[in-house]
Amino acid sequence: MSARVTILCDNTVGPIAGTLGEHGFSALIEWDGGSLLFDTGGGETLLHNALRMNRNLRSISAVVLSHGHYDHTGGLRQLLQLTGKRPVYAHPGVFAPRYRVKDTGEAVPLGIPFSEDFLRVLGADFDLCSTFRGIAPGVFLTGEVCRSTAFEIGDTGLYADPLGNLRDELIDDQSLIIKGERGLTLVLGCCHAGLINTIRAARELTGVQEVQAVIGGTHLGFSSAQQLDATVSALREFRVRKIYGTHCTGFTAAARLHREFPGQFLAAQVGTSLEII
Ligand SMILES: [Fe+2]
Ligand SMILES: [Fe+2]
């Protein structure tokens, strides 16, 4: 199939006049005859940026939530107020309470900033599933990603309780896969499951080995230097053709990947639009 992925919300903006950035991510997936929204940003920029970029969000057929963090789900209220009833594809654990606990002991809530009931009233028709599934022609969700690497230990500051006793493993984290003629394109939310775990899972689940592009948040900006080193080595083996690391990739990891993969690691921000063949 051919498709287009366009970033509507991100931490940084490109050259499209009047678009705004926020800590968050959202991408519009369009194909011949349909479209869906992958994540909704934090709620400050989605509708504004879509308008600036001449994208009509009323025409999307569904919403995907990569995981239950506020910076990917905060735009749900405004979106549903615009679209009315729509299927919302997510993992059953998406509404779990979650926090970042600072060194000072302060707990910052990071979960979905709305209740499930409130979103249902607005028209969210939740379709919750933890396994791999197709959601549109040539478009799939990984479901829960098997944590197969030893080095992808992820973000150690995330907890399931405000006292910081129980680590949040983000089991709900999933990515979207577009199966094109030239291979797979992966759209990542934060990729808390690990970039290499996610690429491995996508290849195994689809039976397709070639990865044409990866676009979205890699969370490498919140992971250890050792994890970044091992990720660089593993990426070389996978021969991913293009990597558009953005959102929670962060400056340091992006600079390293840009140096390690010249011409293959590319900047992405609000307005970046990728044609997939
Ligand atoms: Fe995020
Ligand atoms: Fe996240």
Q: Hey, is 276 helix, strand or coil? A: strand
- 36-65 pLDDT, tens per residue? 999 999 999 999 999 999 999 999 999 999
Ligand nearest to the CA of 42: 1
**C-alpha distances in Å from residue 9, one per residue of 88, 149, 194, 200:** 18, 30, 21, 26
Q: Which of 166, 150, 161, 74 is nearest to 112 (CA)?
A: 74
Per the listing, tokens 């199966």 go with 179
First to last CA, the chain: 7
Ligand lying nearest the CA atom of residue 68: 2
Position 247 confidence tier, pLDDT thresholds 50, 70, 90? very high
Q: Residues 67-123: pLDDT tens digits?
A: 999 999 999 999 999 999 999 999 999 999 999 999 999 999 999 999 999 999 999
Output the pTM of the full model.
Answer: 0.97
Domains and CATH numbers, the chain: 3-276 (3.60.15.10)
Rounded to whole angstroms, the Cα distance separating 189 from 191 reads 6
Residue environment code for 159-187, b if the CB has 16+ CB neighbours within 10 A, otherwise e: bbeeebeeebebbbbbbbbbbbeebbbbb
Ligand nearest to the CA of 249: 1
Q: What is the DSSP letter of 21?
A: -
Which amino acid is residue 65, in one-letter code? L
Give yes or no for residue 1 having a pLDDT over 80: no
pLDDT of residue 154: 84
Tens digits of residue pLDDT in 109-125 = 999 999 999 999 999 99
Cα 73 to averaged position of ligand 1 atoms, centre (Å): 10
Among the listed residues 263, 228, 246, 243, the one whose alpha carbon sits nearest the alpha carbon of residue 186:
243
The pLDDT value recorded for residue 206 is: 98
Ligand with minimal distance to 216 CA: 1
CA of 109 to the centre of ligand 1 (A): 13
CA angle, 139 as apex, 136 and 141 as ends, to 5°?
A: 105
3-state secondary structure at position 184: strand
Q: How far is the CA of 144 from the centre of ligand 1 (A)?
A: 17
